[in-house]
């Protein structure tokens, strides 16, 4: 393929000539010093897509060269490969001769193809949880297939080979649970609607061995549609949800300590008995609980959990928010803020189009431009360029009859925060809801499983690039 020359010769280059210690050439140059000069920089393509690698050839005069960040060694007239690329980036080429350096910025343009590629998972899953491991694998944990019992097998996706495989099993299959990656790499699975009685309420799955074991201490009661938040000290806050018995909606909180493998019931209560909410760590000392419903399907205003004080307090409700936002999509943006989109409005579980931003570093909730389509059961993920990709979901039956099932969506939307904008994304190959969307190390997004247009669990996934 024809290569693209970015820089040619030293003339006209806005290069930076410096000496160690700053400010000009050395006062005691070595005999017959070799000049530091960038002759040319050639790229194998004029532009790249997310997930590609770039081959760059540099011709220079000097003793050594490197690219920053990363201290990537550059050999004269030889290809250096950078990738996989996730977003447009500027690298600094530094050519050195003795104490003299020549520097030049190199822009590597990267964009999304805005397409979906269909993948086969081999098994059907919906209402599962997806977690990203440190090695880049995505685990699909729990959920339902198309049988009577919820499957217990844990499915792993390898982003490099684009293949799914079964790597182990939970003690019990479950839906409406939480899955949290702990500091030691194991995954804490808590609660949910379980398909087998007499099995543990909480377990730790080890992706390295494919085995799962019950935690040494078990929660006082089972809960589902709750939240699980990893705290700065490595502990996990389990809050709210639904429980069996008289206290159908919970205002209790448990704290799980991975070091002791024990759950502690906190004496403080939530301000509201809530379920179907989201929880985000907004500061090192505070967690915000947002959305969900309380007893009788009423509104559950936002509240803050004080980590050091182990107490919760209600925040002022926002008039611009929907009365109840059940099970919305939660997306952590590139700038660490969070996006809360769509969900269901009680009492009829009508789909919502509203989008809200939760700022990290303070207690700030800001309404954003709504989606073009109201969606419940949607999923979202952060793109490498800072936008959020919102996928699928379901809308109310066009007839307006609340007794009729919702209609699955294949459409997607792209949300930018600054400036705030919403635009249609490319359609998926399959309409799906109750699925997951996970940002991968190469900048792509894995959309996995969910219920299809016929209400059955899907055995397909799609890769956004």
DSSP per residue, 366-435: EEEPPPSS-BBS-EEEE-TTS-EEEE--EE--TT--TTSPPEE---EEEEETTTTEEEE-PPPSS--BS-
Average the pLDDT over 236-261 and give the result: 90
| Residues forming a β-bridge with 274 | none
Chain segment 335-392, per-residue pLDDT in tens: 778 999 999 988 778 899 999 999 888 778 888 999 999 999 999 999 999 999 999 9
Give the CA count within 13 Å in the CB-facing half-sphere of 238.
32
Strands 16-19 and 48-49: unpaired
Residue 245: its pLDDT value, please?
64
The b-or-e profile of 89-110 (16+ CB within 10 A means b, else e) is eebebbbbbbbbbbbbebebbb
Band (65; pLDDT cuts 50, 70, 90): very high
Residue 3: its pLDDT value, please?
47
Residue 147: its pLDDT value, please?
86
Average the pLDDT over 188-200 and give the result: 87
Q: Which of 34-38, 106-110, 349-353, 413-417 has the lowest mean pLDDT?
A: 34-38
Q: Is the pLDDT of residue 112 over 70?
A: yes
Band (400; pLDDT cuts 50, 70, 90): low
Distance of CA 373 to the CA centre of its chain: 22
| Residues forming a β-bridge with 139 | 131, 156
Share of the chain residues as helix, strand and coil, in percent rounded to the nearest 5: 0, 50, 50
Q: Which of 89-98, 123-132, 399-408 has the lowest mean pLDDT?
A: 399-408
Per-domain residue ranges of the chain: 4-110, 112-127+327-465
Q: Which of 111-115, 228-232, 358-362 has the lowest mean pLDDT?
A: 358-362
Contacts of 81 (CB under 8 A, 6+ apart): 53, 54, 55, 56
Average pLDDT, the chain: 89
> From the CB of residue 350, how many other CB atoms can be counted at a distance below 10 Å?
17
Band (399; pLDDT cuts 50, 70, 90): low
Average the pLDDT over 242-255 and give the result: 84
CA–CA dist 240, 227 (Å, integer): 7
Residue 80: its pLDDT value, please?
95
Contacts of 153 (CB under 8 A, 6+ apart): 123, 166, 168, 169, 170
Average the pLDDT over 221-236 and give the result: 96
Structure tokens at 450: 């969910």
Residue 361: its pLDDT value, please?
81
Residue 300: phi, psi to the nearest 5? -115, 95
CA–CA dist 368, 81 (Å, integer): 40
Residue 403: its pLDDT value, please?
60
Q: What is the CATH number that goes with domain 4-110?
A: 2.60.40
Q: Is the pLDDT of residue 266 over 80?
A: yes
CA–CA dist 305, 287 (Å, integer): 5
Band (401; pLDDT cuts 50, 70, 90): low
Structure tokens at 109: 């343009």
Closest to 405 in 3D by CA, of 376, 441, 437: 376
Q: Is the pLDDT of residue 135 over 60?
A: yes
Q: Is the pLDDT of residue 71 over 50?
A: yes
Residue 282: its pLDDT value, please?
92
Q: Considering the chain, what percentage of its residues have pLDDT values greater than 70?
A: 90
Residues in the chain: 465
Decide if domain 112-127+327-465 falls under CATH 2.120.10.80: yes
Q: Which of 56-65, 191-200, 217-226 has the lowest mean pLDDT?
A: 191-200
Residue 13: its pLDDT value, please?
28
């Amino acid at each position: 393929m024809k290569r693209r020359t970015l820089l040619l010769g030293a003339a006209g280059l806005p290069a930076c000539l410096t000496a160690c210690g700053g400010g000009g050439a050395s006062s005691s140059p070595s005999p017959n010093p070799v000049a530091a000069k960038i002759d040319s920089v050639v790229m194998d393509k004029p532009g790249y897509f997310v997930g590609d690698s770039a081959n760059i050839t540099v011709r220079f005069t000097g003793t050594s060269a490197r690219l920053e960040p990363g201290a990537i060694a550059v050999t004269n007239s030889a290809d250096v490969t950078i990738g996989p690329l996730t977003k447009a980036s500027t690298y600094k080429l530094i050519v050195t001769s003795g104490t003299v350096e020549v520097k030049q910025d190199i822009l590597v343009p990267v964009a999304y193809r805005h397409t979906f590629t269909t993948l086969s998972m081999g098994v059907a899953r919906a209402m599962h949880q997806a977690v990203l491991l440190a090695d880049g694998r995505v685990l699909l944990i729990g959920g339902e297939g198309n049988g009577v019992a919820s499957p217990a097998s844990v499915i792993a996706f390898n982003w490099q080979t684009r293949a799914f495989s079964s790597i182990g099993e939970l003690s019990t299959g479950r839906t409406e649970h939480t899955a949290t990656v702990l500091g030691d790499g194991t995954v804490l699975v808590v609660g949910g609607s379980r398909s087998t009685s007499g099995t543990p309420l909480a377990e730790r799955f080890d992706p390295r061995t494919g085995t799962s074991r019950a935690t040494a201490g078990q929660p006082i009661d089972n809960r589902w549609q709750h939240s699980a938040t990893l705290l700065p000290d490595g502990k996990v806050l389990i809050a709210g949800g639904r429980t069996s018995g008289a206290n159908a909606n919970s205002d209790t909180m448990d704290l799980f300590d991975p070091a002791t493998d024990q759950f502690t019931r906190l004496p403080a209560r939530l301000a509201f008995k809530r379920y179907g909410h989201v929880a985000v760590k907004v500061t090192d000392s505070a967690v915000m609980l947002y959305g969900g419903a309380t007893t009788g399907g009423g509104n559950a205003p936002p509240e803050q959990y004080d980590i050091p004080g182990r107490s919760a307090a209600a925040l002022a409700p926002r008039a611009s928010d929907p009365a109840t936002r059940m099970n919305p999509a939660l997306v952590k943006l590139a700038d660490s803020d969070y996006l809360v989109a769509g969900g269901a409005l009680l009492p009829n579980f009508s789909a919502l189009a509203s989008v809200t931003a939760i700022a990290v570093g303070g207690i700030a909730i800001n309404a954003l431009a709504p989606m073009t389509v109201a969606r419940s059961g949607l999923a979202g993920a952060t793109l490498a360029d800072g936008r959020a990709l919102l996928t699928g979901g379901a809308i109310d039956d066009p007839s307006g009859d609340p007794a009729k099932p919702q209609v699955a969506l294949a459409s997607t939307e792209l949300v930018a925060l600054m400036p705030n904008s919403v635009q249609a994304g490319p359609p998926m190959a399959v309409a799906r809801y109750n699925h997951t969307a996970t940002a991968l190390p190469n900048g792509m997004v894995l959309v996995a499983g969910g219920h299809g247009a016929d209400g059955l669990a899907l055995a397909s996934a799609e890769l956004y690039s």
